[in-house]
Chains A and B, each alone.
Chain A
Amino acid sequence: MSNGEEDGMSNLSAFDIIGPIMVGPSSSHTAGAARLGKVAMSIAGKNFNKVTFYLHGSFAKTYRGHGTDRALVAGILGMETYDDRLKYSLEIAKEKGIEIEFIEADLGDVHPNTVKIVFHREDGTKFEVVGSSIGGGNIIITEINGDKVEFTGDYPTLIVKQKDVKGMISSVTAILASQNINIATMRVTRRAKGKEALMIIETDAEISDYVLKVIEKVENILSAKAINPVK
Chain B
Amino acid sequence: MYNTGLELMEIANSKKCKIYEVVIDNEVESQGISKEEIISKMQKALEVMKSSAQEALEKEVKSVSGLIGGDAKKLEDYRKAGNTLCGDTVVKAMARALSCSEVNAAMGRIVAAPTAGSCGILPAALITAAEKLNKSEEELVNALFTASGIGQIIAKNATVSGAEGGCQAECGAAAAMAAAAIVEMAGGTPEMCLHAAAIALKNIMGLVCDPIAGLVEAPCAKRNASGVVNALISAELALAGIKSIIPFDEVVDAMYKVGKALPEALRETALGGIAATPTGIKLRKQVLGE
Instruction: Give Cα A137–Cα B159 distance, bound, in whole angstroms.
Output: 16
Instruction: Give Cα A55–Cα B178 distance, bound, in whole angstroms.
Output: 37
Interface of B is mostly: helix
Query: Which chain B residues numbered 84 to 110 have a C-beta less than 8 Å away from chain A?
Result: 103-110
Most buried by B among A13, A24, A66, A67: A24
Of all chain B residues, the one with the shortest Cβ separation from A3 is B159
Instruction: Give Cα A26–Cα B107 distance, bound, in whole angstroms.
Output: 9
Return the contact of A17 from the options B104, B105, B152, B256 (Cβ within 8 A).
B152
Instruction: Give Cα A133–Cα B43 distance, bound, in whole angstroms.
Output: 28
Give, as a whole number of angstroms, the nearest-CB distance from A86 to chain B. Answer: 7
* Contact call B108/A18, Cβ cutoff below 8 A: no
Query: What interface size band does chain B fall in?
Result: 35 or more
Instruction: Give Cα A27–Cα B161 distance, bound, in whole angstroms.
Output: 11
* Contact call A14/B23, Cβ cutoff below 8 A: yes
Chain A interfacial residues counted at CB < 8 A = 40
Q: Inside 8 A of B44's CB, which chain A residues have their CB?
A: 21
Return the contact of A27 from the options B116, B215, B289 (Cβ within 8 A).
B116
Q: Inside 8 A of A13's CB, which chain B residues have their CB?
A: 27, 30-31
* Contact call B107/A62, Cβ cutoff below 8 A: no
Q: Inside 8 A of B256's CB, which chain A residues have their CB?
A: 3
Contact with B along A30-62 (1 / 0, CB 8 A): 110000000000000000000000000010011
Say yes or no: A30-B215 contact (C-beta < 8 A), given A3-B256, A18-B151, A64-B65: no
The 23 listed contacts between A and B (C-beta, < 8 Å) are: A3-B157, A3-B256, A9-B156, A10-B3, A14-B24, A14-B26, A14-B145, A14-B148, A15-B45, A18-B42, A18-B148, A19-B45, A22-B109, A24-B108, A25-B104, A25-B217, A27-B116, A62-B214, A64-B288, A65-B64, A65-B67, A65-B215, A135-B163
Give, as a whole number of angstroms, the nearest-CB distance from A16 to chain B. Answer: 7
Give, as a whole number of angstroms, the nearest-CB distance from A60 to chain B. Answer: 10
| A227 within 8 A of partner (CB) | no
Q: Inside 8 A of B109's CB, which chain A residues have their CB?
A: 21-24, 82, 84
Instruction: Give Cα A13–Cα B45 distance, bound, in whole angstroms.
Output: 14
Q: Inside 8 A of A58's CB, which chain B residues have their CB?
A: 214
